[in-house]
Chains A and B, each alone.
Chain A
């Protein structure tokens, strides 16, 4: 297993080219330590989401290596072991989407136990016990038997977080988790993310939630046109950005 010194996520020279010509990621490197919270900022279309989706292979990187908790996968290979490695990485990473993507035909509880029972082969009883704990943790115990369509956006996203956590992931990926929410619902989701970070979860988040970036993140990275523009502590990025591009971007969103 991994030691404390080796990174939880290691991305090496990752490229992503869409449709043979659209170069979205141009040689990205990134190391994220265990327990670290990293926020990726950048204009829309800069490649942040694509990078996040490359980590759990929802997007197949065109070149480079992805390593999560000691499992390394190179781009371009094709064999059975690799398929299994991808599944292993996905079991170790939880992902929250902008549009929640809860399973509408299942209740809240069924959504949360789906991963543990189907993927990990846990007993239903055992999965329900942990799911109830998680529901309590995200403050939605009373919604246990509701279907997602009867929940607000913020509640749906909290269930989605609980669904990911039910797999006991090593890393959580957040892909603009608050962008589809009404402004008054953003707080409840950010609050859950913040508590998750405080409990020592390794987090990589793409978000426009500046409070989260400034107050919770250990490190902020700015991406533009598929490369890193600048990285550093939130204080440095927000108060003393070195690059002109960073200043432009921050002026635009703040």
Chain B
């Protein structure tokens, strides 16, 4: 039998292909319907559970404003700590990639030490142990250092979180920079750019796109880890919830409520992350 050849683009889609296309379309809408149903069932299940447990919603509503008032601290600590972490991460990554032995070894030990110790211990270090270091230094004759090293709870928390997350993010940023192909550096150099110009104009903007998802991840984790400052008696979200819950013997209500508040905060962040990622994807062939 002779093959039936068509001109390119002529003849339209044959009926059997159209049938397959329709099938794919049906599968897709079926999947979308199923996933919406699954989520709906999950939400109904969660709400039923909360009702069955006999939660005191009136009590929750009554204390909601008081708990929410703590979110200011949560945001303040998280925001300042992430700012510090970002700065440390960029400096740390440059150090890790530097050929200068001093710069490189400082950055490497920073990452190793901080990543190798628990955040809880680090928080207490900044808050409880630093004044002791100050005292020792003052004994060696540096006047006023002990007062400088005795930090209030909030600054200590910001430093602890910032320095800790900075170490993790150093590795993220380093990997992001290293993921950019050598050809980009060479093209920039061939144009006569200095190393700094190459970093600023060519490498960083491209690395940023790679590191946005992991950095958002860190940011979300940090929002939750900011609850660690409650250890030092700062009246932030979780500290308030725990205090109120204990006093009235209604911890379940308070904990569920505070968990929801964190969840909503993180969902907002996730939304922002997606927006940024979309914006960064300009010039990417996969999304057009």
Contact = CB atoms under 8 A, between A and B. Distances in A.
Please indicate whether A and B come from the same complex rather than being unrelated chains.
yes
A56 interface: yes
Interface stretch (A70-78, A96-104, A193-201, A207-215): A96-104
Nearest to A56: B190
Interface size, A (range): 20 to 34
A143 interface: no
B163 to A, nearest CB: 31
B277 to A, nearest CB: 14
B205 interface: yes
A109 to B, nearest CB: 13
Contacts of B33: none
B206 A104 contact: yes
Given A97-B187, A101-B184, A149 B285 contact: yes
Contacts, number: 72
Interface in A152-174: 160, 163-164, 167
Given A93-B190, A118-B201, A119-B192, 20 more contacts: A56-B189, A58-B190, A87-B194, A90-B192, A91-B192, A95-B190, A99-B183, A102-B187, A103-B187, A103-B202, A104-B206, A105-B209, A106-B283, A119-B191, A147-B284, A150-B285, A163-B191, A164-B190, A164-B191, A167-B192
Contacts of B202: 103
B283 A105 contact: yes
Contacts of B283: 104-107, 147-149
Interface residues of B, number: 23
Given A99-B183, A105-B283, A148-B283, A114 B194 contact: no
Interface of A: 56, 58, 87-88, 90-91, 93-95, 97, 99, 101-107, 114-115, 118-119, 147-150, 160, 163-164, 167
Nearest to B190: A95
B288 interface: yes
A252 B83 CA distance: 60
Contacts of B285: 149-150
B288 A105 contact: no
A104 B188 CA distance: 12
B190 A94 contact: yes
Contacts of B181: 101
Interface in B150-198: 181, 183-184, 186-194, 197
Contact of A87 (B183, B192, B206, B282): B192
